[in-house]
């Protein structure tokens, strides 16, 4: 019987993409080295990112307000509630802040991608160990916008023949014979073009894009092309007028990828038994619904989080959604260690050996 594995990567995996304290970690601001952020850090981080969000006036105007409302809270769900308030506000300027937040996220995670580490070593180790097995199909799913896992696929000899970061072909994510890569919530290098008849400012710069978003206002969504494309200019000084295809976290369905990617995923999940879930909060109902609706049972399911307690909480979150609790009864286990980095060192081989 074919053996398939699905790996779900959340923001907790990105935080441990290299060993903390490694000399690989090179991004600094005001003398402080940091780890890639989770959603809550976008608001609750210290002042090191002020120069970045000041490039987005509508974001800068509300970010301190968001910090004050959140108080000492650090959870992603708190931030989702705050962002939803912006999206649904009766005030036009508040809704404008929400639309511009997408541009801020793209800019922020571009910096993380380009400046954080020379190579995403833990991702590359994960890919290599998985492909040492004789698996029929591997499904990589991420909720992250950055290109850190893309870099790992691009540079690893097991996957590089089928995946290039610079290739604009959107089918490359799902056409390899033995693996697929699904970015459910979008990617910093994806976007939708602003329709030519809707463009308000022809300047092909970041300020020009911001100006278009501001002037289009509530009509922005109807002013975008339907098709998601690869945005090869997203990190260039001269850039196309393309609005990022990334999902601002507001606690609703967050799919922001091409339809053929979702359809491919749904088909493949029906035949997948084993699941490795790393750094994922369990609060994205769109992913839980996919797993709940999949045909076929579960095999070896392992949750990896920042601690065993966090992993148990995620497992519990899965268990309260639909029939997942019943389906996962004797299949779901938790890694006892702390985080993705420790799992790579002390838990990955043990889990994969159970799949042989």
Mean pLDDT for the stretch of residues 48-65? 74
4-20+118-185+255-353: CATH architecture: 3-Layer(aba) Sandwich (3.40)
pLDDT surpassing 60 at residue 75: no
Cα dist from 45 to 31, 32, 193, whole Å: 15, 12, 31
pLDDT surpassing 90 at residue 39: no
Question: Smallest Cα–Cα separation from 244: which of 56, 148, 80, 106?
Answer: 106
pLDDT surpassing 50 at residue 354: yes
- Which part of the chain is CATH 3.40.50.1220? 4-20+118-185+255-353
With a pLDDT cut of 90, the percent of the chain lying above it is 63
The pLDDT of residue 330: 85
pLDDT surpassing 60 at residue 158: yes
Using pLDDT thresholds of 50, 70 and 90, give the confidence band for residue 31: very low
The pLDDT of residue 27: 46
Mean pLDDT for the stretch of residues 258-286? 94
pTM as predicted: 0.91
Q: CB–CB of 223/198 below 8 Å?
A: yes
How confident is the prediction for the chain on average, in pLDDT?
Answer: 87
B/e letters for 94-111, b = 16+ CB within 10 Å, e = fewer, are: bbbbbbbbbbbbbbbbbb
Q: CB–CB of 106/18 below 8 Å?
A: no
What is the helix (H) or strand (E) element at residue 191, kind and residue range?
A: strand 186-193
State pLDDT tens for residues 223-253: 999 999 999 999 999 999 999 999 987 755 6
pLDDT surpassing 80 at residue 342: yes
Using pLDDT thresholds of 50, 70 and 90, give the confidence band for residue 47: low
Measured distance CA(317)–CA(218) in Å, rounded: 35
Using pLDDT thresholds of 50, 70 and 90, give the confidence band for residue 34: low
And the tokens for 26? 């090179």
pLDDT surpassing 90 at residue 23: no
With a pLDDT cut of 70, the percent of the chain lying above it is 85
pLDDT surpassing 90 at residue 152: yes
Which of 313 and 254 is assigned the larger pLDDT?
313
Mean pLDDT for the stretch of residues 141-146? 94
Measured distance CA(329)–CA(202) in Å, rounded: 57
Question: Smallest Cα–Cα separation from 333: which of 280, 255, 276?
Answer: 276
**Rg (alpha carbons) of the chain, rounded to whole number:** 20
And the tokens for 113? 């991608």
Q: SS3 for 310? A: helix
């Amino acid at each position: 019987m074919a053996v398939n594995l699905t790996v779900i990567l959340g923001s907790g995996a990105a935080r441990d993409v290299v060993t903390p304290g490694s000399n690989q970690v090179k991004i600094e601001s005001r003398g402080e080295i940091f780890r890639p952020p989770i959603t809550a850090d976008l608001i609750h981080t210290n002042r090191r990112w002020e120069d970045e969000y000041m490039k987005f006036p509508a974001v800068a105007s509300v970010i301190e307000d968001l910090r004050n409302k959140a108080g000492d809270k650090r959870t992603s769900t708190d931030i989702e509630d705050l962002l939803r308030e912006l999206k649904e506000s009766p005030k036009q300027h508040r809704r404008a802040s929400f639309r511009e937040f997408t541009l801020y996220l793209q800019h922020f995670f571009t910096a993380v991608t380009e400046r954080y580490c020379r190579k995403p070593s833990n991702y590359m180790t994960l890919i290599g160990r998985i492909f040492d097995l004789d698996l029929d199909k591997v499904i990589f799913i991420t909720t992250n916008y950055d290109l850190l896992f893309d870099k790992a696929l691009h540079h690893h000899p097991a996957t590089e023949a089928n995946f290039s970061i610079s290739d604009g072909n959107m089918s490359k994510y799902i056409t390899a014979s033995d693996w697929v890569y699904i970015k459910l919530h979008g990617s910093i290098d994806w976007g939708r073009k602003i329709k030519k008849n809707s463009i308000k400012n022809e300047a092909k710069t970041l300020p020009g894009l911001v100006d278009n978003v501001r002037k289009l206002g509530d009509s922005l969504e109807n002013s975008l092309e339907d098709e998601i494309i690869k945005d090869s200019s997203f990190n260039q000084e001269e850039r196309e007028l393309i609005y990022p295809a990334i999902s601002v976290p507001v606690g609703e369905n967050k799919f922001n990828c091409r339809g053929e990617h979702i359809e491919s995923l749904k088909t493949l999940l029906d035949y997948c038994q084993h699941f490795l879930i790393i750094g994922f909060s369990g609060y994205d109902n769109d992913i839980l619904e996919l797993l709940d609706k999949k045909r076929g049972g579960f095999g070896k399911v392992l949750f990896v989080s920042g601690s065993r307690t966090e992993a148990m909480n995620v497992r519990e979150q899965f268990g309260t959604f639909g029939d997942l609790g019943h389906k996962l009864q004797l299949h779901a286990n938790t890694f006892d260690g702390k985080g993705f980095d420790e799992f790579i060192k002390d838990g990955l081989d043990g889990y994969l050996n159970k799949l042989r």
